């Protein structure tokens, strides 16, 4: 989750830690940049929205068939690797990959059906 967040936010490179502000020629530190990002993330409305989204996805996962729900949960929530899931469940690794693909597809279809006609979040 953290890696995806960092990729999405594209953090500043070392050279960008300090930059010139064109309006008043002041340098803005990396700490000031991250502070504004941190305050945006912890806004109450953002936290409530994230919590509601998480709860919705968990409920949709619960509606999946058992074999898909288990593999999807182990891979994405518990962060097990394919070989670890295969060892625990006794299912071949190729089958796990196939079930995971089908589970994601089914989850996506269920979410689209649930929110048909509404604008989905990015």
C-alpha 113/C-alpha 106 separation (Å) is 10
Poorest-confidence range of 1-5, 26-30, 66-70, 83-87?
A: 26-30
**Exposure letters 31-67 (e unless 16+ CB within 10 A, then b):** eebeeeeeeeeeeeeeeeeeeeeeeeeeeebeebeee
> So where are the chain's domains?
45-114
Task: Please identify, in words, the CATH class of the domain defined by 45-114.
Answer: mainly alpha
Question: What 3-state DSSP class applies to 92?
Answer: coil
Q: What pLDDT score was predicted for residue 33?
A: 56
pLDDT in tens, 43-100: 777 777 778 888 888 888 999 999 999 999 999 888 999 999 999 999 999 999 999 9
- Confidence (pLDDT) at 20: 43
- Measured between alpha carbons, how far is residue 42 from residues 8, 49, 120 in Å? 17, 11, 22
- The span from the CA of 2 to the CA of 35, in Å, is 17
pLDDT 10s digits, 32-42? 555 555 555 56
> Kindly report the CA angle at 36 between 45 and 16, in degrees rounded to 5?
145
Residue 25 and residue 42: Cα distance in Å, rounded? 30
Given this model, what pLDDT does residue 95 score? 95
Report the Cα 64 to chain-centroid distance in Å: 19
**What pTM was estimated for this model as a whole?**
0.57
Q: Is residue 73 within a helix (H) or strand (E), and if so which, with residue range?
A: none
């Amino acid at each position: 989750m953290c890696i995806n967040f960092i990729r999405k936010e594209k953090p500043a490179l070392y050279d960008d830690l300090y930059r010139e502000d064109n309006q008043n020629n002041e340098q803005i530190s990396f700490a000031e940049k991250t502070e504004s990002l941190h305050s945006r993330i912890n806004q109450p409305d953002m936290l409530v929205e994230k919590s509601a989204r998480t709860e919705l996805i968990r409920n949709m996962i619960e509606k999946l068939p058992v074999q898909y729900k288990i593999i999807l949960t182990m891979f994405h929530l518990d962060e097990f690797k394919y070989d670890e899931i295969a060892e625990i469940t006794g299912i071949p690794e190729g089958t796990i990959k196939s079930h995971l693909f089908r589970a994601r597809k089914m989850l996506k279809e269920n979410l689209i059906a649930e929110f048909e006609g509404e604008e989905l979040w990015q």
